[in-house]
Structure formats: structure tokens, C-alpha cells
Structure 1
Amino acid sequence: MVRDSGPILDEFLRRLDKQKVDLPHELVVLYYGKGKDTLKRLQPYASKIIQITPGKFDLGICRDLVCKNASRKYIVTVSVDALPVNNSWLQELVTPLISGKADIVQGEIQCPKENDPNYPNFFYWEHDYGFFYTSEEKSFSKNYGDIGLSCVNMAFLKEVWKNCKFKDASYCEDKIFQKRVFASGYTSIFNRKALVIHAHSYPTIKAVFKRVSNEGFGWKQVGEKYSIFLLIKDLLRFDLHTLALKALLENKLKYRSEILFFFIRPVALYWGNHFTKSIYLSPVFQDDNTFAFRLLALYNFK
């Protein structure tokens, strides 16, 4: 799923084009932007481009729409801001499906190195998965397979999608998919060799608050409650506040959103989980490198 995107789109498409894989495939993209420039950049690479108006965007519905338009047996989902680190990424992701070892393959996602030109000023606390330090996912992961499925870098059989789908989730749609996958008895594996780098920039408190509030709303749709007890527990992580103070003194934090992050995230998560009626899709969230799900690219294999 693509909204109007920046230079990282071109790098993403170049890296996809260099993948070494023997099987025939197609690239299916859903575009929900307004400009013609992004469409022109997509056309040389995409087999199918589905267009909708921005106002009709819904993560679960849109992912299902693109999967429905995929004509082959194996499906790969990857975000436009997730860059494969080598030319064998795609083969690594689909091989366990082709061999029958798994029904779903979750690839590795890592933070880029400092000064990576593709991720200027990315959010400091995305290092080592620090962005997701709160407690909302722990019981879910334990109950549903201990693999955190993410559409940022994932492959599955089209048959799996037909039986599980992403519907009923405007955000965290990969978690509702995981819940259904587990209940249906499908096999999920994690493949570290299928590696992408991935990060975002949240330069304002408003941007990071809305991003995390969306997570809270998504978890509510999945059926997971972020309680007041978990809120207080996560707010009182003095080890992380100490870490933030140290990073501040070492001049590693660029924005107030990074300085205050360990206060912002629990509050925003609770707010989204209990009070919001829909996800935030404000202009703040539609700038380059601030939206986690601007693109759903589907590679489809026979």
C-alpha cells in the first residue's frame, strides 16, 4: 500500500528488482495517494497497481484487497521502508513455504546503522526493538505462538490468507491475522536470514503519540486490553528513564519525542486502547518515513 512517498521508494524498488529468485512472480501494489509522480515510479516495477482514495484507507480491508488480487500460490508482504540487506532475501523468505516446512514465514527486521542515508534522523528508541518495550504484547505472544508476525517482512500461503484474512483490524492487522493463523493450526517459523532493515522518524511528540495510540486502538480490535495496571507498571520503568537520561547527556537524543518517549508510549497506548474510535490518519502521519504501513507489496509465486 503506497501513499505518496519519498526517495526510499526508489531504493526499495531497486532492491526488489535485484532479488535472485528462480520462480515467476508478480508485484501487486495498492496506491492511496493523490500525486502522479509516485505512480510513474511504480509502473516499471509493478505488475498490478490498485488505486483507492485516501479517505477509504483501512489497513485490514486494504491488505485483503491486495491479497485478493494476487494470482499466485505464495504471498510476500513487505513495507516500502523495509529494505532487503542482500539479493537472497526473497528466496530465503519463500523457500520454507515451497518446501512445505511452514505455512507462514516471518523474516528478521533490524534497525539501520547510524547515518544510513535511507533513514535520516530515524527515531533513537527503535534501536534493539526498544520502541516496543511496553507490556501489551507479552501475553498475546505467549498465547499465540511466540512469534510476532509482522507484515513489514512476512510470507505465507495464499490458502492461509483465504482462511484467516486481515479483516476487522484497522491497525495491528498482522496480530489479528496471527490470532487466526494460530487458531487454525498453521505452522509459523522465523527465518533470520530473510533480513530487512526498517525504521521511522517521529520528530514531534504529536507524531509519536498518534503512532502509539494507533497501536492501542489496534490491540483493542484484536481483543487485547492494556490495563491501568500495565500502564502504571510501564510508566515506572526507572531503568529506562535512567537510560534516556544517559542518552540525553551523551547528546544522542535529537527530539523532545525521544527524550520523553518512556512517558509518552504508555499513555498513548492506554489512550488508544480505551478512548479512541478510529486510527489517526492526520497529515502529520502521511509524511515520508512516519507511516509504518505506506506500502504493501505482494510478491506472488507459482
Structure 2
Amino acid sequence: MEISVIIVTKNQKHVLEKSLPILLKQKLLNDYEIIIVDSGSTDGTKEYVNSLPVRVVSLDSKSFNYANAFNTGANASRGKYLVRLSGDAIPVNEKFLFEIIAPFVDIKVGGVYGKYEITERKGYGYPIFWPAKRFPKRLTRYSLRPSLLNLILSEKHREMVFNFAGGCCSIRREIWEKRPFNGNLIEAEDAEYSWFLHVLGYDVIYNPKARVIHEHRLNSKPIPNFFNSQAIRILTKEIALYYLKKLVSADPFEDFNKAD
């Protein structure tokens, strides 16, 4: 199996009715599977997806966070490449899967993320933590080694290290098997995984041709400072622990197969 598409959802039947028909007719030479991770839908989602050639995995809502949900689906999957989609992300065409894995022909690439597109619906736009500048017009390669000092002092460095859109991304199974998404994180697990890939020496690719409609309802809440939100505090703690362990004993990732 070449590709496993893992969709994390709850009560999003109305969106899945748009996304799954597109995903089921992708133009690919290789085999792929679709796995739905459902955490307690009551809107008919399970009945709908059970009528389609997809696999359904249930997750107790008490155990839910995005990392645990994706890892649950990945554990049930067989693909060489793991494609992660939010339940409210809708691929725009039949070449989505081709585009989201195409950059993996380069062995230095550890992760790929696609473009969030927005409609003209009033009151909707980019998710608060994903401003439009993170989705440039051209294919972009992020190739750098994270530095603890720069992560603390440089907003630009943080942006480059953490650029990874968990609602529309792909990773290599061989990397995920050695270190799944961090279940300690209530959010920002995609940003942390991007950091992890860079620590190993892999690059992250943004491919604007891998497009999904993915928008959130806008509100008037201000964007929080990087270190202020609970999710970011946990993310900061997890990364700081890595550098502390590396300093006082050994690199926790020393035994991983690194890109270089």
C-alpha cells in the first residue's frame, strides 16, 4: 500500500459528503486507502462512511486530541506515506493525493503540507494561527536546523521551523513509526512534528498544488502572543525538555535514522 489517508472527524457528515467523493476518485497509479477516525459522532457520520469503501476507527472522545487521533488512524494503516486531513478539509480536485506526496521523491524531504483555500462565505477565513503568508504562491522548501536560542529570540526562525499545516499534510511512515505525533500536546502537534523533522535533518515542503478548502469561522479574539496560550506553553516545554536532555546526557533522537 502506497498511501494511507487519515481523516480525523466528529459530527462532520456534511463536509465528508463533499470530501470523500473527491478522495475516492483520485488519479493515482498506486493503491491508497482511506481511514476515518471518529471520536463519537452523533450526526450520522458513521452510517454514511460505513456505506463507502473506507475504514472506520473509533476513538473515545475522552482520549481525544489531534495527535492521538492521527496516531490511532496511523496504527491501523498500511501506507508507505501517511496523509493527514482534518474532517473539515475538502480537496479541490482529483490530483490532491498525487501532489501531497510528490515531493517525497527527494529523500531529504520528511514532510509536505498543502494550501488552505478559503471561500467567499461571510464570516469565514483562515484559521487564526494560519495567516495567508504561510501559504505562498510558489512551492517552498524549508531547510534549516532549529536552534533553541533562535526559537526563543527570533519570530522568523519560529515561523520557518513550525511551518506545517496539520489539516492537510503528509509524512513518511518510516519516520512516524519511530516517533509518532506527540500525544502530550493538546494542540500545535503539527508544529512540533515539523520541528522534530528539522532536528533530524529533513526538509519540509509546502506544495501549493495540494489544495484543500479549509476555513474557520472568524471572531474578534486577538491572536495570542507566542508564549501565552496553554497549547504553546506545552509545546515550549516539550521542546525545552529535548534540549535539556541533550545538554545533560545524550541526544534523545540519537538513534534515529537522520536525513544526513
Report the TM-score, using the length of structure 1 for normalisation.
Answer: 0.60
Return closer, same or farther for 1:154/1:125 CA change in 2, 3 Å cut-off.
Answer: closer
Alignment identity in percent? Answer: 20
Conserved 8 A contact 1:85-1:196: yes
- Flag the structure with larger Rg: 1
For 1:13 and 1:102, locate their aligned partners in 2 and report how far apart those are by CA, in whole Å.
27
Of structures 1 and 2, the one with the larger relative CO (CA 8 A, separation 6+) is 1
Whether contact under 8 Å (1:29, 1:46) holds in the other structure is no
Alignment of 1:169-184 (within 5 A): 169-184=185-200
After TM superposition, give the deviation of residue 183 of structure 1 in Å: 1.0
35 and 48 in structure 1: CA distance in 2 versus 1, 3 angstrom threshold: same
Give matches, 1:266-277, under 5 Å. Answer: none
Q: Does 1:222 align with 2:222?
A: no
Shift of 1:7: 1.6
Letter in 1 for 2:79: R
Q: With structure 2 as the length reference, what TM-score do the two structures score?
A: 0.69
Moved over 6 A (4+): none
CA contact (8 A) 1:173 1:218 kept: no
Tell me how many residue pairs correspond in the alignment: 212
1:109 to 84, 103, 116: 116
Structure 2 letter corresponding to 1:187: D
CA contact (8 A) 2:9 2:86 kept: no
Q: Which runs of 5+ in 2 are unaligned?
A: 1-7, 135-150, 238-260
Call closer, same or farther: CA 1:172–1:44 in 2, change over 3 Å.
Answer: same
Q: Map 1:163-202 to 2 at 5 A.
A: 163-167=178-182, 168-202=184-218
**What secondary structure sits across from 1:223 in the alignment?**
helix
Q: Which has the higher helix share?
A: 1
**Offset at 1:11?**
0.5
Residue 55 of structure 1 corresponds to: 62
Aligned: 1:154 with 2:169 = yes
Q: Aligned partners of 2:225 and 2:75: how far apart in 1?
A: 29
Larger % of strand: which? Answer: 2
Distance 1:138 1:193 in 2: 33
**Rounded Cα–Cα distance in structure 2 between residues aligned with 1:58 and 1:121:** 26
Distance 2:41 2:89 in 1: 23
Please give the root-mean-square deviation of Cα atoms over the aligned residues, in Å.
3.5
